Amino acid sequence: MFENLTSKLEGVFKRLKGHGKLTQQNIQEALREVRMALLEADVNFKVVKDFIGSLEQRAIGQEVMASLTPAQQLIKIVKEEMTHLMGDGEQKIHLSGSAPVPLMLVGLHGCGKTTTAAKLARYFQEQKKRPYLVPADIYRPAAIDQLQKLGEELKVDFYRPEAAQAPLEICLRGREVALKGGYDLILIDTAGRLHIDEALMLELREIKNHLKPKEVLLVADAMTGQDAVNIAKNFNERLGIDGVILTKMDGDARGGAALSIRAVTQRPIKFVGVGEKLDALEVFHPDRMASRILGMGDVLTLIEKAEVAFDAQQAKELERKIRKDSFTLEDFRDQIQQVRKMGSLESILGMIPGASKMAKATGGFDADGKKLVRIEAIINSMTPKERANYAIINGSRRLRIAKGSGTSVQEVNQLLKQYAQARKMMKRLTQMGEKGFRRGGMPFF
């Protein structure tokens, strides 16, 4: 996420830190480089112009020039302005009013509306709400079946349209069923088009006028950059939207859409999709996103993900095992499985300050998670006795484990070596006492 932009901005700030004292000239040079980095990231030209203007006004003055740490002060200003550009605070979905509250998802073909509807259903489930899915896309083949399948996976109820029902009729009938069923909200998955046309807008306006949704949310593909911004502007002018959900953010190395949409439309980004799985939806926090873009990580989101993924009782049991030096390969595998619940390793690395940079420099991190899958396969190929006592794993056992897991003896040896090192490190930490011991069941590998 934002890899190209982050890399360029880190280079600019590194050069700035090399100057003991900043002058108007080297600040102007830095701002020119920031401008170029943003334009190359496909940020809207007018947005870049206004952003650099705000930076210049604050940077060339007492706020930076008189600072004891001018480079750090300038970075702080960039972060504040970037946060402001994306919307300052978190913008929540409004669900006030009599249930079921309708939420309407709109967007073009291929932006990920149907999957996003399911992701939102899962999100609201976690908020202790009862969502109801209503498919109003009667044009795309299998769109209704896709939403039904996703709903069944989540155990979320779903309205099955009757033959020849028009989109508006589907929405009205779906609302009736949801009202009788006592649901808290309705998620309406509307039809898209390859491009915006009047027929689409007429249909969406008709649904909006009759259902009066609490919010109309545009689903846009972040990887399309300025196209996503123009689509958002068009939908807002012709239909009226209340917020944006940016999908495929995990594949967007530039970040132009995220940095431009609010400034162009004056509508906030509310969620971002960061993967294909149904739990890969994050609330959009402008300040945290600015930190990620500037290579500062996002520790708060990492903590929130860890709190969801790591079971408190398991963490307590793990602490007891580590203290008694009885941390087995079975426990090692359980830790890997819990880490994978938090999302891709690449997304986790992006939240740890400096980790992505270290990964590039050393090549030591498994960003795509394939290594973790292979480690699990190796441990699963061991007998319960071998998992409980790795010291009994001799040459012949290693060969059998490698064959059973579809890996090599070298990979088995490497895992056992990593595990032994992890045990030693944990033992040292426990000997250091409470201050040195890491609570929370976080993994050591």
Domain shared by 208 and 349, yes or no: no
Q: Is residue 92 part of a domain?
A: no
Domain shared by 330 and 258, yes or no: no
Query: How far is residue 183 from each of residues 128, 156, 312, 383, measured CA to CA in Å?
Result: 11, 11, 31, 48
Which of 301, 318, 340 terminates a domain? The answer is 301
Identify which of 137, 131, 167 has the alpha carbon closest to the alpha carbon of residue 151.
131
Provide the token pair at 266.
Answer: 């004056």
Q: pLDDT tens digits, the chain, 445 residues: what are they?
A: 677 788 888 888 778 776 666 777 878 888 888 888 888 888 888 888 998 888 888 877 665 655 556 677 778 888 888 888 888 777 888 888 888 999 999 988 888 889 999 999 999 998 899 999 999 988 887 888 899 999 999 999 999 888 788 899 999 999 999 999 999 999 999 988 777 788 888 899 999 999 999 999 999 888 888 888 888 898 999 889 999 998 988 776 677 788 888 888 888 999 988 888 888 888 888 888 888 787 765 455 555 555 555 566 666 666 666 666 677 887 777 777 766 666 555 555 555 554 455 445 434 445 456 777 888 889 999 999 998 888 899 999 999 999 999 999 999 998 888 888 777 776 665 665 544 444 444 443 4
Domain shared by 128 and 262, yes or no: yes
For residue 405, the enclosing domain spans 310-431
Reported pTM: 0.69
Helices (H), 23-166: 24-40, 45-59, 62-65, 70-86, 113-126, 143-154
Provide the token pair at 153.
Answer: 């996976």
Q: What is the CA radius of gyration of the chain?
A: 25
Domain shared by 314 and 277, yes or no: no
In degrees rounded to 5, what are phi and psi of residue 289? -65, -40
Cis peptide, bond prior to residue 100, ω within 30 of zero? yes
Domain shared by 295 and 317, yes or no: no
- CB pairs under 8 A, 24+ apart, for 224-231? 224/257, 225/42, 225/254, 225/256, 225/257, 226/42, 226/44, 226/256, 226/257, 226/260, 228/257, 228/261, 229/44, 229/256, 229/257, 229/260, 229/261, 229/264, 229/265, 231/107, 231/108, 231/196
Distance CA 108, CA 85 (A): 25
Structural domain count, the chain = 3
Domain shared by 256 and 111, yes or no: yes
Identify which of 161, 91, 153, 144 has the alpha carbon closest to the alpha carbon of residue 121.
153
Which of 272, 301, 330 terminates a domain? The answer is 301
Distance CA 414, CA 410 (A): 6
Domain shared by 82 and 105, yes or no: no
